Chain A
């Protein structure tokens, strides 16, 4: 059976930049206005969940989609963010936003720890280490009872407030919190893609030895990818904890990590838009059908297998048709002449 839809590339996308900007503005307006449409708490809850998972997918996307590192331990970073924020807010009365940032910082440290083995270890072996990392975090949660309350979990996680206004589900505050984080992470991913760091990531994904030969310090960049994914996941974890109201070691399992991977693969690894569609489908669809809900874990696995076989680029993962955007300034520099090539190269050696 040949690749499905490989030539059929969803021509719904706006054809030029102006249309794309209009589309984005409309989408943003819609998202900002959403809480006023009168959705029930149940659906607002789901939307917050979708938002959290889009952020988590964007984080994993940096690892898998940009750099080609398959991580099955993202739930560990989510847990770190969630528990750090919760413990600091509940037990030490630290401000919510400060706690979230500290959670991100601690996640970053663990991200470095997880990135270090990438010096010696590749491919499946590295993935297995990320798997082990997730399990180690779960074990720490269970064993470090004085801080995490172990298997009893932490309940009654307080809702944060901003300038005295409580950010809860019912007033839409929590939704806007997620939306704000989502917009920031989308912008970050977008700017990352078109930068020296992003190109280094993408080069490593395609051909690591060639990247080394082009002067890229691949160990540094692979570790950096882990750190970025860790921090973003940690930040999302804090919000997730608020939404759930209760966390224990069973909140952050291997199944969560698999779900995030399935979102990335389904939507289209390497793209930002893919994370949206993947999360919407995989988080909301089971809510719609009882049958799907029971078998949803099988579904995640099936999606991985089917997508890899028939459409590895994902639903929204087509190559851009537009030319590479070159700034006016760059074009001007080019037209003014950049100097003779080799003289430029040789003079750099001096």
Chain B
């Protein structure tokens, strides 16, 4: 019997602030992400976007503000505890486990959901075999759903860049996350690859995932985002649906001379 969802937002962030030395990296930022939404956090480089991800995932602790996943407050939780609540992330510079195969990378994702002990795995008990088989099947399901099944035996470092990014996402999904934080997933890709990846994000949404996306180039995320937040120098300067935000004077000014291309060329 499913509990009724108390908070309609999967992620709720209120007045988040963090300073390094004297510099305010994140200044009183509030935003939320609703179920099955694709929300994009955009802004020029150095605006504080990755810092926010690091705060959400527990890598940094905020100076002020609150982070809620559903009803759970995340502020004091360790990164490992936060993953258990159903949030997982990818990284701007792809951080796969290069020495391990694709399927092994995804299996690492299942780590927090795996209950067997070292004793079980040493003596290959029934508990080990059952869970390991279940996890392996789950990993293969994820890879197959994402179109990566054929590559499952390959070592992660041998894959082309675009596939590595997808494996990273597969690994994040394997943790059991419903909310995926994707940090500049299209970084390092050319236009065609970016478009393909963004279609991929749309596909993830259709599977039922909720996605919070970081990107510095707004044109990349215009088509797929339900809502957009714009960050500059640590503060939010605009928010709303893409078309509104794209025409916001503040946003245009922040990007003046930058990489913004609102006509999606």
Contacts and interface: CB of A to CB of B under 8 A. Distances in A.
Q: Do they bind each other?
A: yes
B137 A333 contact: yes
B3 A333 contact: no
A346 B111 contact: no
A202 interface: yes
B223 interface: no
A337 B144 CA distance: 11
Interface range, B side: 35 or more
A197 to B, nearest CB: 5
A289 interface: no
Interface string B143-163: 011000000110100000000
B116 A327 contact: no
B256 interface: no
A115 to B, nearest CB: 15
**Chain B CB within 10 Å, residue with most, of A191, A206, A210, A215:** A215
Interface stretch (A29-37, A297-305, A318-326): A318-326
Given A188-B122, A214-B111, A207 B95 contact: yes
B122 A202 contact: no
A348 B209 CA distance: 14
A205 B208 contact: no
A319 B141 contact: no
Interface stretch (B12-20, B41-49, B99-107, B184-192): B99-107
B80 A217 contact: yes
B79 A212 contact: yes
Interface in A295-350: 319, 323-324, 326-327, 329-331, 333-334, 337-350
Given A215-B175, A333-B137, A343-B208, A206 B100 contact: yes
Given A214-B171, A217-B80, A346-B178, A334 B137 contact: yes
B122 A192 contact: yes
Interface residues of A, number: 49
A340 B207 contact: yes
A215 B122 contact: no
A334 B111 contact: no
Interface string B127-153: 011001110111011101100000011
A196 B79 contact: no
A215 B80 contact: yes
Contacts of B59: 209, 212-213
Contacts of B138: 338, 344
A267 B193 CA distance: 41
A82 interface: no
A348 B113 contact: yes
B207 A329 contact: no
Contacts of A344: 138, 176
A327 B136 contact: yes
Contact of A345 (B70, B86, B101): B86
Contacts of A197: 118, 121
Contact of A202 (B97, B128, B132): B97
B100 to A, nearest CB: 6
Nearest to B156: A206
Interface in B68-92: 70, 79-80, 83-86, 88-89, 91
Interface string B105-117: 0011101111010
B57 interface: yes
29 contacts: A191-B121, A191-B124, A192-B118, A192-B121, A192-B122, A196-B121, A199-B107, A200-B108, A206-B100, A209-B95, A224-B118, A323-B153, A324-B101, A324-B103, A324-B104, A327-B129, A330-B132, A330-B133, A333-B136, A334-B144, A338-B137, A339-B141, A340-B207, A340-B208, A341-B145, A341-B173, A342-B207, A349-B70, A350-B3
List of 10 A-B pairs having minimum Cβ-Cβ separation, nearest first:
A342-B208, A195-B121, A215-B112, A333-B137, A215-B83, A323-B153, A330-B136, A330-B133, A338-B141, A334-B137
Interface of A: 188, 191-192, 195-200, 202-203, 205-207, 209-217, 224, 270, 319, 323-324, 326-327, 329-331, 333-334, 337-350
